[in-house]
Amino acid sequence: MAETEEKQSAGNIVLVTEGGSIPNPHEFRLINAWSLSLTLAIVSLFALCLIWPEPYLRILLYLPDGILVTFQITLMSICFAVPLGFLTGLGRISKNRFIKLVASTYVEIIRGIPLLVQLFYIYYALSRFVQISGITSAVVAISVCYGAYMGEVFRAGIAAIPRGQTEASRSLGFTRYQTMIYVILPQAMRTILPPVGNECIAMLKDTALVSIMAVPDIMQRARSFVGTTYLYFETYTVIALVYLIITLLLSKAVSIMEAKLNYYDTKSR
Amino acid sequence: MTQNPDNTPVISMRGVWKYFDSLPALQDINLDVQAKERVVIIGPSGSGKSTALRSINRLEEIDRGKIYVNGQDIMDKTNDINLIRHKLGMVFQQFNLFPHKTVLQNLTLAPIKLLGLDRSEAEDRAFALLKKVGISEKANVYPSMLSGGQQQRVAIARALAMQPEIMLFDEPTSALDPEMVGEVLNVMITLAEEGMTMICVTHEMGFAKTVADRVIFMDQGQIVEQGDPNALFDNPRHPRLKFFLNHIL
């Protein structure tokens, strides 16, 4: 009975939602989807800026402040969303029925409401009671939303560790808590980290939504540029390329981390 | 053993019942194991022999009855089950080595964290045990690099690193390729010769004959027959044991 459970969970299926596709770290050919996309994006951006510095270079130079804000919001959201997701994941596998119910209800509610609606709710709807700045609203909304998504990733990653690991640890005399710290989490990290990285990349893309609340991120800078110049095509072309380059680089970073985490298993892949 | 001068059993199961949903997995199990005794439990699959073994260190929670380890009631909340488990080494069918730790780290983790040994003490102990089970040269590799037989020997060494008084074996050779069964059984025979108290659930009748002081035959959650291995194998009394032996031998 326990045996079949182990076999099923050994599949390590972790739900991956949106986010950039993570390049396979064992893919060493020079031309692959990732390198081709990155090369095309960089070459296009440079070409546009060299051939028509007006307006393309001007648009690009208008953006750095926005890039900084985008990263700032993303990083702050990651700092809250990852611990929140971790706690949610633990809550969903808790033996305490109350904690489990709270965690599951949180996930159900948040997953059922679009992020844009959550943003508006915190920024506009709640303004009747509290005034929250655009950046704070953005970080709160994104953290709460992605905390729920990541809760699922953490739950699945922890559940994928065979029950025999817990039994071996408990039979040596480790407590439930020690078992989690020394045995389960170090192993679960390996399955958890790639999808969490993926969620973080998706998060960076979703920060574009905050431009609606006048937060000066990349997208908001573009909108204000367009507002004065009406250069829709040129501006949004540059914006798309900038987002693409950032997410491609980040997804490479995630895949490198993933490869490093595979140090102990010679049989995987 | 010092705490048992008057031959009180180190393990005592009294009227133990265990249900899986409404199905009784253990029905009124009574079993006393003395210090240094080697007990082998045999029986068809689903007979409750693994459940009985796993209930001794509370990996399975029993529903009725009492289990005492060194006189301590393991279901009593005032007795720390984690301390009781220090004295009960367990070896699993699927080895269950920690894949993210090297062989050496598998052996030192619990002694360092639970017994407070410092690293060099724990490693000395680990190397001595690896030598004993015959794989000292593999100390720094990860378990996935080892064969099943090697992994199971490491698992035995890992349990021994806590210096338990009693070893529980749950079908330790059932997941192994036939050519690797011998190397694991040899380690277990050495342990038995050194006077380790052992309870072993197994299908290895040869091992039962050579090592066991007492063989217990379980079927349908009950102890059906028990006794000296030669008597039990040569002169089975109960028809269910006769049937079982005819089919397995």
β-strand partners of B26: B18
**Closest in A167, A175, A187 to B99, CB measured:** A187
**Which of B79, B100, B174 is the mutation pick for testing A, counting most A CBs within 10 A?**
B100
β-strand partners of B66: B14
Does A98 reach chain B within 8 Å, measured CB to CB?
A: no
Over residues B27-83, the pLDDT tens digits come to 999 999 999 999 999 999 889 999 999 999 999 999 999 999 999 999 998 999 999
Average pLDDT on B113-122 reads: 95
Q: Which residue of B has its CA nearest to A3?
A: B94
Of the pLDDT bands very low, low, confident and very high (cuts 50, 70, 90), residue A15 is very low
Q: Which residue of B has its CA nearest to A268?
A: B144
Residue A19 has pLDDT above 70, yes or no: no
Q: Which residue of B has its CA nearest to A7?
A: B94
pLDDT of residue A54: 86
Residue B1 has pLDDT above 70, yes or no: no
Of the pLDDT bands very low, low, confident and very high (cuts 50, 70, 90), residue A255 is confident
Per the CB < 8 Å rule, is A174 touching B82? Answer: yes
Planar angle of CA A71, A73, A74, nearest 5 degrees = 60
Q: If you average pLDDT over every residue of chain A, what do you get? A: 86
Residue A219 has pLDDT above 70, yes or no: yes
**Which of A9, A166, A167, A171 is the mutation pick for testing B, counting most B CBs within 10 A?**
A171
Distance from the B57 Cα atom to the nearest Cα atom in chain A, whole angstroms: 7
Residue A259 has pLDDT above 70, yes or no: yes
* Separation between Cα atoms, residue B128 and residue B122, nearest integer Å: 10
Reported for B66-74, long-range contacts at CB under 8 A and 24+ positions apart, including other chains, are B66/B12, B66/B13, B66/B14, B66/B15, B66/B16, B67/B11, B67/B12, B67/B13, B67/B14, B67/B16, B68/B9, B68/B11, B68/B12, B68/B14, B69/B10, B69/B11, B69/B166, B70/B3, B70/B4, B70/B10, B70/B165, B71/B3, B71/B8
Does A174 reach chain B within 8 Å, measured CB to CB?
A: yes
Q: Which residue of A has its CA nearest to B86?
A: A173
Per the CB < 8 Å rule, is A168 touching B114? Answer: no
Q: If you average pLDDT over every residue of chain B, what do you get? A: 93
Per the CB < 8 Å rule, is A6 touching B83? Answer: no
Per the CB < 8 Å rule, is B82 touching A173? Answer: yes
Of the pLDDT bands very low, low, confident and very high (cuts 50, 70, 90), residue A52 is very high
The more confidently predicted of residues B15 and A7 is: B15
β-strand partners of B90: B168
Of the pLDDT bands very low, low, confident and very high (cuts 50, 70, 90), residue A20 is low
Distance from the A97 Cα atom to the nearest Cα atom in chain B, whole angstroms: 19
pLDDT of residue A26: 61
Task: Give A-chain residues touching B99 at CB under 8 angstroms.
Answer: 187, 264-265
> Do A25 and A256 form a contact (C-beta atoms < 8 A)?
yes
Per the CB < 8 Å rule, is A172 touching B110? Answer: yes
Does A170 reach chain B within 8 Å, measured CB to CB?
A: yes
**Closest in A165, A178, A267 to B144, CB measured:** A267
Task: Give A-chain residues touching B97 at CB under 8 angstroms.
Answer: 168
Average pLDDT on B113-131 reads: 95
Chain B residues whose C-beta is within 8 A of a chain A C-beta are: 57, 59, 82-83, 85-86, 88-90, 92, 94, 96-101, 109-110, 113-114, 142, 144-145, 155, 158-159, 162
Of the pLDDT bands very low, low, confident and very high (cuts 50, 70, 90), residue B4 is very low
Residue A5 has pLDDT above 80, yes or no: no
Over residues B222-238, the pLDDT tens digits come to 999 999 999 999 999 99
The Cβ of residue A184 has, within 10 Å, a number of other Cβ atoms equal to: 18
* Separation between Cα atoms, residue A255 and residue A204, nearest integer Å: 17
* Separation between Cα atoms, residue A194 and residue B95, nearest integer Å: 28
Task: Give A-chain residues touching B142 at CB under 8 angstroms.
Answer: 264-266
Residue B6 has pLDDT above 80, yes or no: no
pLDDT of residue A261: 80
**Closest in B98, B113, B142 to A178, CB measured:** B113
Per the CB < 8 Å rule, is A172 touching B92? Answer: no
pLDDT of residue A84: 96
* Separation between Cα atoms, residue B164 and residue B56, nearest integer Å: 14
Per the CB < 8 Å rule, is A168 touching B96? Answer: yes
> Do B113 and B82 form a contact (C-beta atoms < 8 A)?
no
Its ipTM equals 0.92
pLDDT of residue A262: 75
Of the pLDDT bands very low, low, confident and very high (cuts 50, 70, 90), residue A134 is confident
Residue B239 has pLDDT above 90, yes or no: yes
Residue A16 has pLDDT above 50, yes or no: no
pLDDT of residue B175: 92
User: What is each CA distance from A156 to A148, A170, A178, A200, in whole angstroms?
Assistant: 13, 21, 20, 17
Average pLDDT on A212-233 reads: 90
DSSP for A83-138, written as a single string: HHHHHHHHHHT-S-HHHHHHHHHHHHHHHTS-HHHHHHHHHTGGGGT----HHHHH
Residue A132 has pLDDT above 60, yes or no: yes
Of the pLDDT bands very low, low, confident and very high (cuts 50, 70, 90), residue A24 is low
Residue A191 has pLDDT above 90, yes or no: no
H or E stretch at A44: helix A33-51
Average pLDDT on B81-100 reads: 95
Of the pLDDT bands very low, low, confident and very high (cuts 50, 70, 90), residue A212 is confident
pLDDT of residue A22: 61
Strands B222-227, B214-219: pairing kind? antiparallel
Q: Give me the percent of chain B exceeding a pLDDT of 90.
A: 89
Cβ within 8 Å of B, A 103-162:
162
Of the pLDDT bands very low, low, confident and very high (cuts 50, 70, 90), residue A25 is low
Distance from the A251 Cα atom to the nearest Cα atom in chain B, whole angstroms: 25
Of the pLDDT bands very low, low, confident and very high (cuts 50, 70, 90), residue B177 is very high
Of the pLDDT bands very low, low, confident and very high (cuts 50, 70, 90), residue A1 is very low
φ, ψ dihedrals at B172, nearest 5°: -65, -20
SS3 A64: helix
Shortest CA distance to B36 belongs to which of B64, B58, B9?
Answer: B9
Over residues A58-90, the pLDDT tens digits come to 999 889 999 999 999 999 999 999 999 999 999
* The token pair that represents A179 in the structure block: 């078992």
Of the pLDDT bands very low, low, confident and very high (cuts 50, 70, 90), residue A257 is confident
Per the CB < 8 Å rule, is A186 touching B86? Answer: no
pLDDT of residue A263: 73
Please state which of the ranges A20-29, A83-92, A109-118, B82-91 shows the lowest mean pLDDT.
Answer: A20-29
pLDDT of residue A17: 47
Residue B97 has pLDDT above 60, yes or no: yes
